Amino acid sequence: MASYIDLLIKTTSDITLKEIAEKVKSEQRISDDDCLLLFNKATLDYLGVLANHVREKLHGHRTYFNRNFHIEPTNICVFSCKFCSYSMLYAHKEEGWELSIDQMVDIVKSYDGKPITEVHIVGGVHPKMDMAYFIELIQKIKAHRPDLHIKAFTAVELDYMFRKAKLTVKEGLTQLKAAGLQSLPGGGAELFHPDIRKQIARDKVSGDGWLAIHETAHELGMHSNATMLYGHIEKYEHRIDHMRKLRDLQDKTKGFNTFIPLKFRNANNDMSHVSESNLTEDMRLFAIARIYLDNFPHLKAYWPMLGRQNAQMSLSFGVNDIDGTIDDSTKIYSMAGSEEQTPSMTTEELVALIKQAKRHPIERDTLYNEINDFGSAVVVV
């Protein structure tokens, strides 16, 4: 029986699209020009077939999630990114929140006896929350629960932290790793291209700076994630530039676990006049990312931002990970008008959502070691 990709190659009349499909089938890397052609010409059905082919070649029907919770130390921030609906400038700090170390450790303690594997710590860039502060926080979390994986601090937070402490990136990351930091989240990447970055996030670390921090983390043996904020003022070429830089660094270090496209949301920020991408464009972006980023083992749909039903749909467009239980502990996206205003799903709900999409749910840890197999929902003939 012919496979879906064979049928696609046979029935595609556009010679350039047919050639790209043949490349994907033979596991050849597609070029930037190929990627631009996919954005400009490919239908959603065509992209879905190619992305699903790549996804199933890598993972079959296996779809990953983890049991995690988020801590957001503060939404007070020295930066004023145009797209952000979350932070309050330090000058207006009475409108924000800032947690003490003891308050954050108490959040960790509230999960005692629960099978949580990861704490995800990110927030605003607060001028008084420095290296010493976060080293003490990490040490106290590790002392209380040594088995809990600490994934913390975007490159934006780290850049500010290290500059203030007059440390090199390597010195700063080495100190945090010694304290108990184990991996980095992908936040703060936004769009690397300077023409876009200077318009939406002028004063934060540059795209090259973000890449350098992640490269150094990889050199020190820490894995990280990568993100891209899409669907605002960027053009397709800017998305490709961003993904190419990630693909190049992954070729060099192999330190990225997953790529996470983050949908721009326009509520309550300085870019509210910019229309959001529609669902078709969202799925096209996920599919093209899966096809282009051939050296990234995983593609994640962050369900609190997309909404659980849209995240479920993305499992047919290259996605093999839908993040974790989250447990209603993140405000970053709900404040921006995301689909999920109270982002919490139980393990049972996540498993059911994955099985409804005829996929095979697997609980993982942060580094994609498999913890629990919840059984296949499909019969493979």
pLDDT tens sequence across 243-269: 999 999 999 999 999 999 999 887 766
CATH 3.90.420.10 fits 64-373, yes or no: no
CA atoms of 90 and 195, how far apart (whole Å): 27
102 versus 342: the higher-pLDDT residue is 102
For residue 227, the Cα-to-chain-centroid distance in whole angstroms is 4
Task: Give the model's pLDDT for residue 162.
Answer: 97
Over residues 343-368, the pLDDT tens digits come to: 578 888 889 999 999 999 999 999 99
Interacting residues of 226 by C-beta distance below 8 A, sequence separation 6+: 186, 189, 214, 246, 256, 258, 259, 260, 296
- The domain locations on the chain are 4-58, 64-373
Q: Which long-range contacts (CB under 8 A, 24 or more apart) does 352-357 make?
A: 353/308, 353/311, 353/312, 353/322, 354/63, 354/65, 354/312, 354/315, 354/322, 356/312, 357/63, 357/312, 357/313, 357/315, 357/316
For residue 341, the Cα-to-chain-centroid distance in whole angstroms is 19
Measured CA to CA in angstroms, residue 240 lies from 11, 15, 211 at distances of 27, 22, 16
Task: Give the model's pLDDT for residue 347.
Answer: 86
Mean pLDDT over 166-191 rounds to 97
For residue 380, the Cα-to-chain-centroid distance in whole angstroms is 30
Task: Give the model's pLDDT for residue 89.
Answer: 54
Does 278 score more than 80 pLDDT?
A: yes
Mean pLDDT of the chain: 90
Task: Give the model's pLDDT for residue 340.
Answer: 46
Instruction: Please name the residue ranges forming H helices in the chain.
Output: 4-11, 15-25, 32-41, 44-59, 101-109, 131-144, 155-165, 169-179, 194-200, 207-219, 236-253, 279-292, 303-306, 308-314, 347-356
Over residues 18-56, the pLDDT tens digits come to: 999 999 999 999 999 999 999 999 999 999 999 999 999
Q: Radius of gyration over alpha carbons of the chain, in Å?
A: 20
Instruction: For residue 373, list its beta bridge partners.
Output: 362
Task: Give the model's pLDDT for residue 337.
Answer: 44
Strands 76-77, 88-89: pairing kind: parallel
Does 231 score more than 80 pLDDT?
A: yes
Task: Give the model's pLDDT for residue 265.
Answer: 82
Whole-prediction pTM: 0.91
N- to C-terminal Cα separation, the chain: 11
Mean pLDDT over 205-211 rounds to 96
Interacting residues of 376 by C-beta distance below 8 A, sequence separation 6+: 61, 360
Amino acid at 208: D
Over residues 154-174, the pLDDT tens digits come to: 999 999 999 999 999 999 999
Q: Answer whether 134's CB lies under 8 Å from 167's CB.
A: no
Task: Give the model's pLDDT for residue 342.
Answer: 56
Task: Give the model's pLDDT for residue 341.
Answer: 46
Task: Give the model's pLDDT for residue 266.
Answer: 75
Task: Give the model's pLDDT for residue 124.
Answer: 84
Task: Give the model's pLDDT for residue 25.
Answer: 97
Mean pLDDT over 284-290 rounds to 98
Over residues 84-127, the pLDDT tens digits come to: 655 555 445 556 788 999 999 999 999 999 999 999 999 888 88
- Pick the closest to residue 324 from 116, 56, 59, 62 (CA basis): 116
Using pLDDT thresholds of 50, 70 and 90, give the confidence band for residue 304: confident
